[in-house]
């Protein structure tokens, strides 16, 4: 099994094989190879139905009888591979070659990968595409990065502060407890405290236990699926009991 995205003669191509056949999707338009144009790419599959979207133009492969689960246990590579021998012969139309260019804001299965020196498992021959200490998105919340002799500085919008504009001015002097996250409320020029699991109160200073969970509109509980590697990746099932006094809201 494999899933591969590549450039082929200027066209973007998605190829995947779930064990029975290789499915190929290719964009209608070619990329602009002038090194100055950023393209937005979205690709993936639901069962054996695939989709490929380049700059808002979408190509889909309708579902058909056959296998529906992608069974791979290898590392996930971005921009190339450690050895071309790892590339399935059916994964690319031409001889496989590494990508030349820049990649940013990559999200895999709803998880953004941090393209930094420390986060990946490994890599080789990677440079900084920006070429300065500012890099990409160093300043948060629409802050403007400026290169200086000592590194960089961020010019922050009015409602943000901090070295990288990461903190709301409404939370700069908050009194939320150590088990809380400050949530800015610009409309009231104030903030609220989001309590960690097991804590409650206005400032999240009261420890609690629960056996039936109470949610108040800005609540959530997060779980890691311990059986992800064993369950059937084609299906999802859920059952629960609940009570509510609202007609809108996310349950699960």
Q: Are residues 142 and 105 in the same domain?
A: no
Domain containing residue 20: CATH number = 2.60.120.200
Q: Are residues 99 and 22 in the same domain?
A: yes
Which pLDDT does position 160 carry in this prediction? Answer: 92
In angstroms, the CA 206 to CA 221 distance is 18
Residue written as token pair 């700059």: 55
Which pLDDT does position 155 carry in this prediction? Answer: 92
Q: Are residues 135 and 78 in the same domain?
A: no
pTM surpassing 0.75?
A: no
Is 125 within the bounds of a domain? no
Q: Are residues 141 and 216 in the same domain?
A: no
pLDDT tens string, the chain, 252 residues long: the values are 887 888 888 888 888 888 788 888 888 888 887 766 778 888 888 888 888 888 888 888 776 777 777 766 667 777 777 777 777 777 877 777 777 777 777 787 777 777 666 777 777 666 667 666 676 667 888 888 888 877 788 999 989 999 889 889 999 889 999 888 898 888 888 998 888 888 888 898 888 876 666 766 666 676 666 666 666 666 545 655 666 666 566 566
Q: Are residues 18 and 101 in the same domain?
A: yes
199: domain range?
177-252
Domain containing residue 140: CATH number = 2.10.25.10
Q: Are residues 106 and 135 in the same domain?
A: no
Between the alpha carbon of residue 50 and those of residues 42, 92, 198, the distances in Å are 11, 16, 41
Is 245 within the bounds of a domain? yes
Q: Are residues 29 and 109 in the same domain?
A: yes
């Amino acid at each position: 099994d494999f899933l591969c995205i590549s450039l082929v003669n200027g066209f973007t191509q998605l190829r995947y094989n779930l064990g029975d056949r290789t499915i190929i999707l290719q964009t209608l338009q070619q990329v602009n190879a002038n090194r100055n144009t950023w393209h937005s790419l979205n690709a993936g599959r639901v069962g054996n139905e695939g989709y490929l979207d380049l700059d808002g133009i979408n190509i889909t492969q309708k579902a058909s009888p056959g296998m529906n689960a992608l069974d791979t246990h290898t590392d996930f590579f971005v921009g190339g591979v450690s050895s071309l021998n790892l590339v399935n012969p059916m994964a690319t139309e031409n001889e496989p070659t590494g990508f030349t260019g820049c990649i940013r804001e990559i999200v895999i299965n709803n998880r953004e990968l941090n393209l930094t020196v420390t986060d990946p498992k490994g890599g080789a021959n990677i440079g900084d595409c920006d070429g300065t200490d500012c890099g990409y998105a160093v300043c948060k919340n629409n802050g403007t990065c400026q290169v200086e002799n000592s590194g960089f500085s961020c010019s922050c919008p009015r409602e943000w502060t901090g070295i990288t504009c990461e903190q709301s001015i409404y939370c700069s002097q908050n009194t939320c407890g150590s088990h809380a996250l400050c949530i800015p409320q610009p409309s009231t020029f104030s903030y609220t405290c989001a309590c960690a699991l097991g804590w409650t109160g206005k400032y999240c200073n009261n420890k609690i236990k629960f056996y039936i969970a109470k949610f108040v509109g800005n609540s959530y509980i997060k779980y890691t699926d311990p059986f992800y590697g064993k369950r059937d990746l084609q299906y999802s099932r859920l059952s629960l009991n609940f009570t509510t006094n609202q007609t809108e809201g996310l349950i699960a």
